[in-house]
Structure 1
């Protein structure tokens, strides 16, 4: 795992975003110049503004618009940001994560809940079946 991804997942890169793009969704060897090659895709950690632009270029959708559409549908996104489990997996369709957009938010005791416990990763994914879903969790040491 790259230092950038480790730092992001530890809540140390609050100004950055992480993007996972599956090979089945975007097939472009140039992506590896910008990120880390992982099983089935590329994971990129980049400053927020550039990351949102890269997300829009890769998916054709604005990052925050996508996050809003996925927010109301809770699923499970792998804590390494490279996959997950679609909440609609009960049908016979194939369910693979096409892409993930994630950001981390610092600890905020005033908000309470999981935010009082430490930094929180917010992750949003798109499944091959068309379902967009979200997950969030406290960072781990």
Structure 2
């Protein structure tokens, strides 16, 4: 275990699918400038990543973004994009070619769903991370993947 993993086991456990009752929030420094957030989560490149129980997380998300978490997730499902496996970035579906200058993740809301073989697809393969991101261009988008496939998120959307 690395020093980073031992310091922030909640993030590692969440990304492994081991915390289905929790949610993860990434808030970019460019979106929220409140140094107190670091007290509640992990300071990551470009922002803060917080893992907290679902109810508190949804409330924190609404307080930070002014939008209800489930309302945001529903709107983000209209566009498939790529959310980085560490939840601290992504690729907006509106990014033209390699020009990402106007497309930076402002925030991410994520939760895990436990394996459900009855549903089929990626749900039958294991737990599923659902991640929803807001781009600086205004587009909200979604991604989902099995934690074991976290090195290649975005590939399971067709399932």
2:118 counterpart SS class:
coil
- In structure 2, C-alpha distance between the alignment counterparts of 1:98 and 1:67, rounded to whole Å: 14
Which piece of structure 1 moves more, 85-94 or 125-134? Answer: 85-94
Shift in Å at residue 74 of structure 1?
0.1
- In structure 2, C-alpha distance between the alignment counterparts of 1:119 and 1:72, rounded to whole Å: 22
Shift in Å at residue 64 of structure 1?
0.1
Which residues of 2 match residues 31-50 of structure 1 at below 5 A?
31-50=37-56
1:58 counterpart SS class:
helix
| Structure 1 residue 111 corresponds to structure 2 residue 119 | yes
Shift in Å at residue 10 of structure 1?
0.6
Counterpart of 2:142 (choices 129, 134, 139) is: 134
| Structure 1 residue 23 corresponds to structure 2 residue 29 | yes
Q: Any unmatched runs of 5+ in structure 2? A: 150-159
User: How many residues of Structure 1 are paired with residues of Structure 2 in the alignment?
Assistant: 141
Greater relative CO, 1 or 2 (CA 8 Å, sep 6+): 1
Which residues of 2 match residues 1-141 of structure 1 at below 5 A?
1=4, 2-90=8-96, 94-140=102-148
Q: Deviations over 1:74-125 (max 9, x none)?
A: 0000000000000000186610000000000000000000000000000000
Give TM-score, length-normalised by structure 2.
0.86
The answer to whether the 8 Å contact 1:36/1:43 transfers is yes
The answer to whether the 8 Å contact 1:18/1:101 transfers is yes
The answer to whether the 8 Å contact 1:9/1:140 transfers is no
Q: Any unmatched runs of 5+ in structure 1? A: none
Runs of 4 or more consecutive aligned structure 1 residues displaced over 4 Å after TM superposition: none
1:21 counterpart SS class:
strand
